[in-house]
Amino acid sequence: MKKLVYSITILFILQLAVITAYAAKSDCGPQPNKPPKVATQVAKEDPNVNNDYDKVVKENTQAGVVYLTVVKGAQPKPNACGLNPSNAASEWTGWGGPLDADNMTIGEGAGTRNDIIIGGTLFERGIGIHAVGKLVYPLTGADFGKFEGYVGMSDEKDPAECGAGGSSEFIFTVDGKQMFKSDVLKGTDAGKNVAAVKVAFDIPAGAKQLVIDITAGGDGNGCDHSALGDAKLIIRGTTSVEPYESLGATWGSIKKTY
C-alpha cells in the first residue's frame, strides 16, 4: 500500500512539473541582446522616463495556454515557446526587421531590443513591432477557444524622445470577421502614460486563422513602437488564471473556463 501511495505521489509530482513548465518564457531561449534601455521597477512610473514600471503581468505557464510568438515558436502546431505566424516575415513589421526576438520590443533594430513595457506595466511575454505590421496565425493546430492579451505603445519611446510616444491602431479578425478594433492608442496623452488596453474575445469552433493588423496612428512622428502584451490563445476547456481586468487595481486572480 505504501509503495502504491509513493508511486501515485511521484506521478502527481511529475505531472505537476509538466504543467508548471508548459509555455514557459524560458522555452523561447535567451534574449538575443541585453536591453540597452533597462526596465526599472519604481513605486510610481514617470511618463517622461523610458522603461520604468510599477506593475507586472507575469507569464501564465498553465497547460492549455499558448503564447503568440514570432521566432522560437512553431506553426501550425505550437511548441512550448508558442505559436508563430504563417505569413511572410517581411509583413510582420514596418521597420527594424526581420524580427529576431520573442518577448521583446522592436527597439532600434537588431541588437537593441528591450523588455516589453506598456503604460508603466511590464509584460513578461509579448511581441514588439514597428507599425505598419501584420501577423497571421493559423488556428488549426489546436482547438483554441479564446484570445486574451493587451495592446499599446512601448514605453521605450516615452515623450522624452517622441512627444507622444508614438501611436497605433490594433485590429483583430478571425476568418475575416472583426473581433476587436482599438482606438488610436498613443504612448502618452495629456502628459500621462496611456495604459495597456485589454483584448479578449471568443474564437468560434473550427476557426482557421487569426489576423492582427497594426496600423500607424497618423501622427507622422515615426515612433510607432507597437506592442502586444501577454498575447495568448487558450485551448477550449482550459481553466486559466488571469489578473483582474483593471491594471490600476491591486493584482489578484480569477478563474475562467473556456
Spell out the domain ranges in the chain. Answer: 2-257
What local confidence, expressed as pLDDT, does residue 239 receive? 65
C-alpha span between 30 and 28 (Å, rounded): 7
Cβ atoms of 230 and 172 closer than 8 Å: no
Q: What is the CA radius of gyration of the chain?
A: 19
Find, among 109, 105, 112, 127, the residue nearest to 33 by Cα: 112
What topology does CATH give the domain 2-257? Jelly Rolls (2.60.120)
pLDDT > 90? residue 258: no
pLDDT > 60? residue 1: no
CA atoms within 13 A on the CB side of 166: 28
What local confidence, expressed as pLDDT, does residue 160 receive? 80
What local confidence, expressed as pLDDT, does residue 159 receive? 86
C-alpha span between 190 and 60 (Å, rounded): 33
What local confidence, expressed as pLDDT, does residue 257 receive? 36
Banded pLDDT at 164 (limits 50, 70, 90) = confident
Banded pLDDT at 242 (limits 50, 70, 90) = low
What local confidence, expressed as pLDDT, does residue 220 receive? 65
List pLDDT tens digits, range 30-47.
999 999 999 999 999 999
Banded pLDDT at 165 (limits 50, 70, 90) = confident
Find, among 53, 3, 239, 20, the residue nearest to 154 by Cα: 53
Banded pLDDT at 107 (limits 50, 70, 90) = very high
What local confidence, expressed as pLDDT, does residue 240 receive? 52
Q: Which residue has the higher pLDDT, 163 or 156?
A: 156
Q: Which residue has the higher pLDDT, 253 or 155?
A: 155
**Among residues of the chain, what percentage have pLDDT more than 90?**
74
Banded pLDDT at 158 (limits 50, 70, 90) = confident
User: What average pLDDT does the structure give for the chain?
Assistant: 86
